[in-house]
Amino acid sequence: MPDNNFFLVQYGTASRPNQLGLEESDMLLPLQRAAATHDKPLQLDWLLSDHPDAPRAADLLRALQGNVQMAVDKTTITPQAPVGRQEIWAAGVTYKRSEEARELESNNSTIYSRVYNATRPELFFKAMGYDALGMGQPVGIRFDARWSVPEPELVVVMNAHMEVVGFTIGNDMSSRDIEGENPLYLPQAKVYEASCALGPRIWLQPGRTTWPEAKIEMEIERAGKVVFGGETSTAAIHRPLAELIEYLGRCKRFPYGAMLFTGTGIVPPDDFGLAEGDQVRIRIDPIGELVNTVRVVGKRIQETTKA
């Protein structure tokens, strides 16, 4: 693992709508594949893929540093979610706080307590890469949900060989009342328009097999005032990193790599729910901050039904 912090940044410019760059010491260096490959911009999909020329985790930093171009002015770029064609999955009930909250919302069904202590972890599909939102883009709460919350999470970025490439920040937007009514409604509570946000960049930690020491913080602002704040750390994650990755890749291939939300240890009180216009700010050092404003999604369906 590197001594210095390196980051992958996905962004757009006036001439190139989709560009990947290597960030080090506040410099952003565009990544370009070698002349033998026709000077194509280096894409995240190729970098994480099972293509025979794509670097493995052990060689990743060396490969990236050999393909950098002149630094760009960061004031001229448009940041994007650091994801491409990857599938985005999520692990549930990995923190004790999450297990307790899920049990309360499901009227003490015991299924969450059982999975918290079980050998097999809870894993579920969250989104495709093209569904994910980036820094500054509005995240969604369902129009038919009464109790929606953000879930701030560390997200593992893996290549097609299920090797850790790095980590980013994720917001797993969730409808607690829908999942609480019946756990079989989890896909509707978790997988909907604008329910997944990632960013602002990928902290490169190639080949890592244990959790990094990181504090996770979240603040929610409403009308300019902080209405909720909380923090946790990766030390509170109940399961080993290698265990979650092994189960995710046990019986499934990810030819373009995958991203895995690792659960939340920050849960707002039961009398709190998101409202349109709220601003969600999630911070994990050294990755940075992921900031998104909340909007209501699905209104067009409601209006069509009424008509």
Q: Which pLDDT score, from 0 to 100, does residue 41 have? A: 78
Q: How far apart are CA 55 and CA 123, in angstroms?
A: 27
Q: Domains, the chain, ranges and CATH?
A: 7-79 (no CATH), 87-305 (3.90.850.10)
Give tens-digit pLDDT for 263-295.
999 999 999 999 999 999 999 999 999 999 999
Q: What is the mean pLDDT of the chain?
A: 93
Judge whether residue 32 has pLDDT over 60: yes
Judge whether residue 305 has pLDDT over 60: no
Name residues whose C-beta falls within 8 Å of residue 34's C-beta, 6 or more positions apart in sequence: 67
Report the share of the chain in percent with pLDDT over 70. 93
Dihedrals phi, psi of 189, to nearest 5 degrees: -75, -25
Cis-peptide, bond into residue 212, ω within 30° of zero: no
DSSP the chain: --SS--EEEEEE-SS-SSEEEEEETTEEEEBB--GGGTTPBP-HHHHTS--TTSPPGGGHHHHHHTTB-S-B-GGG-EE--S-SS-EEEEEES-SHHHHHHHHHHTTS-SHHHHHHHSSSPEEEEEEEGGG-B-TTPPEEEETT-S-EE--EEEEEEE-TTS-EEEEEEEEE-EEHHHHHH-GGGHHHHHSSTT-EEEEEEEEE-TT--S----EEEEEEEETTEEEEEEEEEGGG-SS-HHHHHHHHHSS---TT-EEEE---S----TT----TT-EEEEEETTTEEEEEEEEEE-HHHHHHHH-
Section 99-120 average pLDDT:
83
Distances (CA, A) of 173 to 61, 115, 186, 198: 32, 21, 12, 11
Section 25-53 average pLDDT:
84
Q: How confident is the model at residue 63 (pLDDT cuts 50, 70, 90)?
A: very high
Report which of residues 99 and 1 the model is more confident about.
Answer: 99
Give tens-digit pLDDT for 130-142.
999 999 999 999 9
Section 70-87 average pLDDT:
96
Give tens-digit pLDDT for 189-227.
999 999 999 999 999 999 999 999 999 999 999 999 999
Q: Which pLDDT score, from 0 to 100, does residue 190 have? A: 98
